[in-house]
Chain A
Amino acid sequence: MNIFKNILNSVKPHFEKGGKWEKLYPVYDGFATFLFVPKHTTHSGAHIRDGIDLKRTMITVVLALVPALLFGMWNVGYQHYKALGETVGFWDQFLFGAVKVLPMVVVSYAVGLGVEFAFCVIKKHQINEGYLVTGMLIPLIMPVDIPLWMVALSCIFAVVIGKEVFGGTGMNILNPALTARAFAFFAYPTYMSGDKVWINTSTQAGQSVVDGYSGATALGDLAVKGETSLQPIDMFLGTIPGSIGETSTVAILIGAVMLLWTGIGSWRIMLSALLGGTAMGLIFNWFAPYAISPEQQAFMAVPFWQHLIMGGFAFGVVFMATDPVSASQTFRGKWIYGFLAGFLGVMIRVFNPAYPEGIMLAILFMNVMAPLIDHYVIEANVKRRKKRLQVKVA
């Protein structure tokens, strides 16, 4: 570590006021604080500060994402060789997946951080770590076959429109990673949905060399035919086609445990979202006999607990809905926010077959609603306390 310290100290004068790279000070500052604990202290008043800062929070979330990432890499290889009908060893599968997934991670980080650094230099504010999680989330919620330039464009859109226009990390209304996915989903629908994109079987994106092999996700199947050949146990373990990081409920649960144990992810949101999804699933089960078409009836009749392990529900609930910036801030607001996110997520995926990934849209929608929910929760609290005061006075 001393080497880094020496390097940083030796280049520091260049970045300070009057140095030749004065304008790039935020870049220097970003690197320096990334490697070492900053010496910044507050200037006035006493502040009780936890040792856990934004950087530690972000790194914890990234670590919680690692199981899903590793599993996703292996699953990409597994699905590839399964589609081709070849049997290869574990490491071959993993290696194949790693070769496909790592470039996406690199592109996501390089482009996103590039944009963020550029903004910080122009706006002259501190570089912060908000993108560390976003940059990891974005490749995990993309199909493996998506061209890298689309990943890059989605990252730019997410950072600029999803975050920087509102004032950077901490000010964003929408979850940037989901913004990236929504952008890609609506901009390039042929690369983001259907049954050709989830498994990499050819060198050309979006094309399958294996005729007749269905690479549809469980949700895609259900939306089109009303049934899926995928088994619930596979959905739970994650050995199914899907976006890279979302397939395995097990890997996501490991991440969820890490987030809950460290207290970084809100258990209120996760639990209430599960309850919301369950509630909507149950409602669908009850009303399945009254569906308008046989396909929809079959979809509605899917046992409610399967909704929780299909598609991106688990991933969205654990890693997206709990984003501390775009979620509700009040405790009671978190219950409402989470419940509605799960509830609407299942509702959208069943009622609108064009948008199989309802949880993405539901969370984005609830992101927008979160400030409103908080507003009413606080208002209600103010009213309640006023009432109590009146009773006491009287």
Chain B
Amino acid sequence: MAEVTETVEKQVKQREPLFSKKNRKLITDPLDDSNPITVQVLGICSALAITVKLYPALVMSLSVIFVMGAGNVIISLLRNLIPNRIRIIVQLVVVASLVILVDQVLKAFVYDISKELSVFVGLIITNCIIMGRFEAFALANGPWKSFLDGMGNAFGYAWILIAVAFFRELLGSGTLFGYPVLEKIGVYSVGYENNGLMLLPPMALITVGIIIWVQRARNTKLIEEN
């Protein structure tokens, strides 16, 4: 009898390695199989609004990565202290504090970008991805796992944002990070014109749609059965 309990204790005490298969999945899953934008279709609003140029999209991505990672860890640390009935308010306070922090840093160091992103930095607070991960993951898991989950989801969001912004800036303005790529290649001299539609929000939606299309064609797991 005593032997049995010992082995059980041993199993419990045996610590999971930091990057066990399960933990790695926390990061890799949101990049593809359960991508917050293309599969869960969350956080679309900012994906449409700030993907006209690459630079703002990159800054936005970094902001979300920070808020997501830090927020998930904080909520996870607090998870046993938060009364269930007011958990949403606590989550909001945490994410709002982090967003204000980000906003102040942006205003101090990259004022132009901060102005360009305008209300969308503040709107990170209401980004469904963040609140969703707090609710669904950080409240029920330890800090390290929550951190990995936060990183995974934030990067899943970030790469879509940057991919969309890449195509929109390249085809819409002919530049990448403000560098006139197409002009240097010389396509304008043969009659090429920038595509004004790429600068309008509908094209961001269509670009996201095309990414979803390509993703589903490649990853047949995602196709729903009728």
Contacts and interface: CB of A to CB of B under 8 A. Distances in A.
Interface in A159-211: 161, 165, 183, 186-191, 205
A165 B209 contact: yes
A190 B191 CA distance: 13
Nearest to B217: A122
Given A161-B206, A165-B209, A165-B213, A147 B200 contact: no
Contact of A186 (B191, B192, B197, B209): B197
Contacts of A161: 206
B161 interface: no
B196 A189 contact: yes
A187 B168 CA distance: 12
Nearest to B192: A149
Nearest to A183: B197
Contacts of A183: 197
Nearest to B196: A187
Contacts of B196: 186-189
Given A161-B206, A165-B213, A188 B193 contact: yes
Nearest to A192: B196
Nearest to A147: B191
A224 to B, nearest CB: 20
Interface in A136-164: 147, 149-150, 161
Interface residues of A, number: 13
A370 B184 CA distance: 46
Contacts of B165: none
A165 B205 CA distance: 14
Helix, strand, loop or mixed for chain B's interface?
helix
Interface in A111-141: none
Contacts of B193: 147, 150, 188, 190-191
Contacts of A190: 193
Contacts of A186: 196-197, 200
A117 to B, nearest CB: 19
A197 to B, nearest CB: 13
A149 B198 contact: no
Contacts of B213: 165
A188 B171 CA distance: 12
B161 to A, nearest CB: 21
Contacts of B192: 149
Contacts of B97: none
A205 B195 CA distance: 16
B195 to A, nearest CB: 4
Interface string B179-205: 000000000000111011110100000
A176 B207 CA distance: 18
A120 to B, nearest CB: 16
Contacts of B191: 147, 149, 205
Interface in A197-253: 205
A147 B190 CA distance: 11
A188 B191 CA distance: 12
10 contacts: A147-B191, A161-B206, A165-B213, A183-B197, A186-B200, A187-B196, A187-B198, A188-B193, A188-B196, A189-B196
Given A187-B197, A188-B193, 12 more contacts: A147-B191, A147-B193, A149-B191, A149-B192, A161-B206, A165-B209, A165-B213, A186-B196, A186-B197, A188-B196, A191-B193, A205-B191
Interface of A: 147, 149-150, 161, 165, 183, 186-191, 205
Q: Which 3 A-B pairs have the closest CB atoms?
A: A187-B197, A186-B197, A187-B195
